[in-house]
Structure 1
Amino acid sequence: MTSATPFTGRELTNPPSDGISNLRFSNHSDHLLVSSWDKTVRLYDASENVLRGEFKHGGAVLDCCFHDDSSGFSASADNTVRRLVFNHEREDILGRHDAPVRCIDYSYATGQVITGSWDKTLKCWDPRGAGSETRSLVGTYTQPERVYSMSLVGNRLVVATAGRHVNVYDLRNMSQPEQRRESSLKYQTRCVRCYPNGTGYALSSVEGRVAMEFFDTSDVGQSKKYAFKCHRKTEGGRDIVYPVNAIAFHPVYGTFATGGCDGYVNVWDGNNKKRLYQYSKYPTSIAALSFSKDGRLLAVASSYTFEEGDKLHEPDAIFIRNVNEGEVKPKPKVNPNPAT
């Protein structure tokens, strides 16, 4: 295992050999699923630092998610959607898109797998029909542009596409979006993640900003939204801006971490509009982040995202850090006029 300082966390052995596209903790354990441009999906036990399984695909794997601790799903640049059966290291093709599949998620509310592709469609699948696309495909829904990121909370699905479009769906009625929006950020969307409490979503861009949005369309609801600058530095009087690739919400406190191409992970208190913590710099760009189900662990993908083109860079690595309460717990607001 490569040495790591206690400030970055412990480094997992047997990391992917090419860019890490995403990583996700299980909702049931400390198992971690990792997708990569090296055409693999890897299953780790993050607590034990053990590689439990590896699946090879026909193209780069752009996203992955769990079903439960015995199976998961993957989205590949070879246009396929696959179900992965961990104990048997078996994979079945659930279906296909007409272009690389960028995003995948499993809805516990509906029991469906949802995929978003660069073919400008969303598709919903019944995982029980794996092996037969005619049995598994539930519906296809045209999007205004290529799907870049998506996120689920309860029955709500938020889809962010090229062209700064954002569609909000109710999974119980996918015939048309519940809301059609435009990103309040001026530049290309990198990541969207729903608030754990279901009231809205955070969206990041290539231009070092994060927007905090709310589903409530009333004037009062929309008055709460705001955007802020992050992952920037001033050098020689010049503002250097880094893409914000990853957002992950803490499952207990509702605070969130962001990861940027500057190699930093910051933790934010969105309600109080404050940065709570900044971790020590990682070797290269932060490509993905995920908190464990109880928020005790944070998985960090340190993986160059080619924002400066093809160049020599640090090898891809996955760090698992123990999260201290002081790093993620909101600080109480101070009453400026305490009662005497």
Structure 2
Amino acid sequence: MAFLASPPRVQGALSNDTQLASPPDDSISSLAWSPVEDYLAVGSWDNRVRIYDITKSTNGVGLAAIDIEGPVLSCHWSRDGQKVVGAGVDKSARILDLGSNGAPAQQVAAHDAPIRSVRFFEAPNTNASMIVTGSWDRTVKYWDLRSATPAAQLSFSERVYSLDARKRLLVIATADRQLHLVNLDNWGAIWSTRQSPLKHQSRVVTCFLDATGFALGGIEGRVSFQYASQQDDASKSYSFKCHRDKEVNNITNVWTINDISVHPVHGTFSTCGSEGSFQFWDKERKCRLKEYRDVGGPISATAFNRNGTIFAYAVSYDWSKGYSHNTPNLPNKIMLHPVLADDCKPRQVIGRR
């Protein structure tokens, strides 16, 4: 099922966006908002997760930080907003408890290769928070925060490039273009495996708000909305092209989809690309809601705050062109975009008379 061939391009304004004060010193890899306060966690290649308080200033105030012995590739919040986890190239994950009166972050996970993605999730039949880590060592591990050894492990034939968890759904995208789905009520086993509908490398996977499926983005300027159940997957899943320039002289520039975020109220989606634009989408109506272009550099990460009124995006080098293109003149900043009431609201269906 195809997306609209030519979705309307409704240009959005960037004039009211504000820049976060004191950004990281190197490329920004991950953004995550607290689910209970307007606190923003920022993971960076400068080996640190910074936590900003946006409630006291529109430009943000530094609240706390997690130091890691290597570039940070992923960060996330616990459901109660008390803990932040960061993970990355040093093969470990560390958790900071904001209620610990200044105690340093504690290591809670370890792999044999860099950890690409980390998420908190609620363990089945308990109120305990656990974390799940996906690594380039071709494993996913589950960690009880009270133990130094993993509670369970899943092994794959290739590296884990991205994962996301919501409610009972865990989705894992690996380097061999495989998608592995796990029912977290039975988290020690893979429930379903399917091949990616994208033709090239997966970059990011993000679960739907209702956890019935997930959005997948790749390096080819294409996004796919996939449903978890086999019946819905066959009848409702579809892919579409985006973050591509218009064809000129038979040449089309295709940009990497670096991140996909879901609106916490409406369930609509954002995508961002290495060409420097972000776009809002209604997956049910199959249309683009708004497009924001020319932010000044690649957008490496995005996130909506807890009520969807602020959209954070990182204008930062995304490594899509390799080490040699990471020059000192590239921007490295975090912008806060105010989301208007109708910006991410699903399109209304106008009935026929």
Shorter-chain TM range is over 0.9
**What SS does the aligned partner of 2:343 have?**
helix
Letter in 1 for 2:339: V
Pick from 43, 51, 75 the counterpart of residue 51 of structure 2: 43
The answer to whether the aligner puts 1:74 opposite 2:86 as a matched pair is yes
For the pair 1:83 / 2:101, whether they are aligned, the reply is no
Match of 1:62 in 2: 73
Which amino acid in structure 1 is aligned with residue 19 of structure 2? E
Q: Does 1:171 align with 2:187?
A: no
* CA–CA distance in structure 1, aligned partners of residues 25 and 237 of structure 2: 40
**Which of 118, 127, 146 is the equivalent residue of 1:128?**
146
Q: Deviations over 1:255-275 (max 9, x none)?
A: 100000010000001111100
Cα distance in 2 for residues equivalent to 1:271 and 1:70: 34
1:248 aligns with 2:261: yes
CA distance in 1, matches of 2:157, 2:309: 38
Query: CA separation of 1:8/1:285 partners in 2, compared to 1, >3 Å: closer, same or farther?
Result: farther
The correspondence for 2:24, drawn from 16, 22, 33, is 16
What is the aligned partner in structure 2 of residue 96 from structure 1?
110
Query: What residue ranges of structure 1 are gaps of 5+ in the alignment?
Result: none
Cα distance between partner residues in 2 of 1:41 and 1:112: 19
After superposition, where does 1:182-331 map in structure 2 within 5 Å?
182-218=195-231, 221-234=233-246, 236-237=248-249, 238-309=251-322, 310-311=324-325, 312=327, 313-331=329-347
Distance 1:308 1:302 in 2: 15
Q: CA separation of 1:190/1:327 partners in 2, compared to 1, >3 Å: closer, same or farther?
A: same
Higher relative contact order by CA 8 Å / sep ≥ 6: 1 or 2?
2
Which residue is equivalent to 2:39?
Answer: 31
8 Å CA contact 2:66–2:94 kept in 1: the answer is no
User: Partner amino acid for 2:113?
Assistant: A
1:16-50 Cα deviation digits (max 9, x unpaired) = 11111101001111001111111001000134211
- For the Cα contact (< 8 Å) 1:144–1:165, is it kept in 2? no
Once residues 290 and 194 of structure 1 are traced to their aligned partners in structure 2, the CA distance between those partners, rounded to angstroms, is 13
TM-score calculated relative to the size of structure 2: 0.89
Does 2:142 correspond to 1:162? no
Instruction: Pick one of 154, 162, 167 that aligns with 1:141.
Output: 154
Please give the alpha-carbon distance, in whole angstroms, between the structure 2 residues aligned to 1:117 and 1:295.
30
SS at match of 1:234: coil
Structure 1 residue 306: Cα displacement:
2.0
Q: Report the Cα distance in structure 2 between the residues aligned to 1:331 and 1:145, rounded to whole angstroms.
A: 39
Which ranges of structure 2 fall in alignment gaps of 5 or more residues? 1-12
Say if 1:156 and 1:171, in contact at 8 Å, map to a contact too: yes
> Bigger shift: 6-15 or 273-282?
6-15
Give the Å deviation of 1:175: 3.1
CA distance, structure 2, for counterparts of residue 197 and residue 173 of structure 1: 19
Q: Judge conservation of contact 1:55–1:89 (CA < 8 Å) in 2.
A: no
CA offsets, 1:202-230, max 9 Å, x none?
A: 10110000011011202x54111110000
CA distance in 1, matches of 2:293, 2:254: 18
Q: Compared with structure 1, are the counterparts of its residues 81 and 267 closer, same or farther at alpha carbon in structure 2 (3 Å cutoff)?
A: same
SS in 1 for 2:23: coil
**TM-score normalised per structure 1:** 0.92
Quote the Cα distance in structure 1 between the aligned partners of 2:173 and 2:278: 22
Farther-moved stretch of structure 1 (277-286 vs 10-19): 277-286
Write the distance in 1 (CA, Å) between the matches of 2:294 and 2:31: 19
User: Residue type of the partner of 2:35?
Assistant: N
Structure 1 stretch displaced more, 30-39 or 102-111: 102-111
- In structure 1, distance between residues paired with 2:41 and 2:103: 13
Given that residues 214 and 225 in structure 2 are in contact (C-alpha distance below 8 angstroms), is that contact kept between their aligned partners in structure 1? Answer: yes
Deviates more, 1:195-204 or 1:230-239: 230-239
Residues 135-188 of structure 1, C-alpha deviations (whole Å, 9 max, x = no match): xx2111102211111111111100011011100001121232111111001000
Q: Give the partner amino acid of 1:323.
A: V
> 2:16·2:338 contact (CA, 8 Å) conserved in 1?
no
The alpha carbon displacement at 1:89 in A equals 5.1
RMSD, aligned CA: 1.6
SS of aligned partner of 1:284? coil
SS at match of 2:252: strand
- Distance in 1 (alpha carbons) for counterparts of 2:40 and 2:50: 8
Say whether the 8 Å CA contact 2:27–2:45 is kept in structure 1. Answer: yes
Q: Compared with structure 1, are the counterparts of its residues 34 and 172 closer, same or farther at alpha carbon in structure 2 (3 Å cutoff)?
A: same
